[in-house]
């Protein structure tokens, strides 16, 4: 497997030249566009990796999967989905239009920014710190990595420049879609986006989802089989921005990407995959990472369809 991953990384490195690192969050622009790495975590606890698999990056939108799980653990599935929908939008992840014009009752799904902000707003706790502890501790548990933390520079950079997310959040507050202190909710959202990890950490989260909610390395159940099923289904329909349909056709694995260049991909009952390559395509997905996943999916016949 290590050999296969190594050759897939080398075959696809050139695609990074065609992409661009995200710069709308200024500190993300410092990423090395040539990085490309992968880690595979199988359900019997084995891990395989290649390329720049030890480079840390901020998980950005991949955190939406984590906050969705935490919100469901706190509130139950029914309550969460009374505030956020389950439908893909076909618009960009930070679109205001889809929120205002198309579906003012609730954001379309928890994988777009508005939906994730609404989901994060549901996490309970007496203070911002307590709520963030919940998210970070859950992330440490599902990665098996107690060192997981946030990248302070990226967090501050987004907090200073995140006016589009501010607009989404205030719009939702004015429509009573979210309650409470908007700046505090945004702070929590910016922090979760700035959680930093490697391909290995992402692969482990994916392996837990692939394993129906049980950590492969300890046998501990962290979410129910039902919640794991719901999260993976939403990843299929909404996880890869407005390229989710194409991704399902060509790769066929429940996945969530982030503008930091990561992809979390969970192959049900087979393996978790973490991919990282900060050069992005026009839709905001890692350009070389998509090619890597496509080749791996073909080689190992990973499509669920």
Residues at the interface with ligand GLU (CB under 6 A): 60-61, 93-94, 113, 158, 165, 193, 258-259, 284
Query: In this complex, which beta carbon is closest to ligand GLU, that of residue 193 or of residue 199?
Result: 193
- The Cα–Cα gap between 89 and 253 comes to 19
* Two tokens, residue 249: 């056709």
Query: In this complex, which beta carbon is closest to ligand GLU, that of residue 10 or of residue 24?
Result: 24
Residue 124 CB, nearest approach to ligand GLU (Å): 22
Residue 33 CB, nearest approach to ligand GLU (Å): 17
- The Cα–Cα gap between 86 and 74 comes to 19
Which residues are known to be catalytic?
A: 61, 64, 189, 241, 259
Residue 111 CB, nearest approach to ligand GLU (Å): 9
DSSP 124-173: --SSHHHHHHHHHHHHHHHHT-TT-EE-HHHHHHHHHH-HHHHHHHHHHH
**Alpha helices per DSSP H over the chain:** 2-12, 63-75, 77-83, 97, 113-120, 128-143, 152-161, 163-174, 182-193, 199-210, 225-238, 244-250, 287-300
- The Cα–Cα gap between 214 and 207 comes to 9
**Cβ–Cβ under 8 Å, residues 36 and 13:** yes
Give the residue among 226, 202, 232 at the shortest CA–CA distance from 304: 232
**Cβ–Cβ under 8 Å, residues 21 and 31:** yes
**Cβ–Cβ under 8 Å, residues 190 and 116:** no
Burial of 203 by CB count in 10 Å (0-12 exposed, 13-18 middle, 19+ buried)? Answer: buried
List the Cα angle 175/238/80 in 5-degree steps.
45
Tokens 């698999």 found at: 53
Query: In this complex, which beta carbon is closest to ligand GLU, that of residue 122 or of residue 186?
Result: 186
């Amino acid at each position: 497997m290590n050999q296969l991953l190594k050759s897939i990384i080398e075959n696809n490195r050139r695609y990074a030249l065609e992409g661009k690192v995200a710069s709308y969050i200024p500190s993300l622009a410092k990423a090395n566009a040539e990085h490309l790495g992968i880690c595979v975590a199988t359900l019997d606890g084995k891990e395989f990796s290649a390329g720049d698999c030890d480079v840390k990056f901020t998980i950005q939108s991949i955190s939406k999967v984590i906050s969705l799980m935490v919100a469901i653990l706190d509130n139950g599935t029914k309550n969460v989905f009374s505030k956020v929908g389950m439908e893909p939008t076909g618009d960009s992840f930070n679109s205001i239009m889809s929120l205002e014009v198309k579906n003012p009752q609730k954001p379309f799904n928890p994988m777009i920014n508005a939906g994730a902000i609404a989901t994060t707003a549901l996490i309970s706790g007496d203070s911002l710190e307590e709520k963030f502890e919940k998210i970070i501790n859950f992330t440490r548990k599902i990665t098996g990595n107690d060192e997981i933390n946030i990248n302070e520079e990226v967090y501050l950079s987004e907090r200073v420049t995140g006016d589009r997310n501010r607009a989404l959040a205030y719009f939702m507050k004015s429509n009573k879609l979210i309650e409470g202190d908007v700046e505090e909710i945004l702070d929590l959202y910016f922090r979760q986006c700035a959680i930093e990890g490697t391909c290995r950490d992402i692969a482990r989260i994916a392996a837990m989802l692939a394993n129906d909610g049980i950590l492969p390395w300890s046998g501990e159940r962290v979410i129910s089989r039902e919640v794991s099923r719901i999260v993976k289904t939403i990843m299929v329909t909404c996880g890869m921005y407005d390229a989710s349909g194409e991704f399902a056709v060509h790769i066929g694995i429940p996945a969530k990407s982030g503008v930091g260049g990561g992809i979390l991909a969970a192959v049900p009952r087979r393996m978790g995959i973490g991919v990282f390559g900060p050069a992005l395509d026009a839709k905001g997905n890692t350009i070389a990472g998509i090619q890597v996943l496509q080749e791996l999916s073909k080689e190992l016949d990973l499509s669920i369809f």
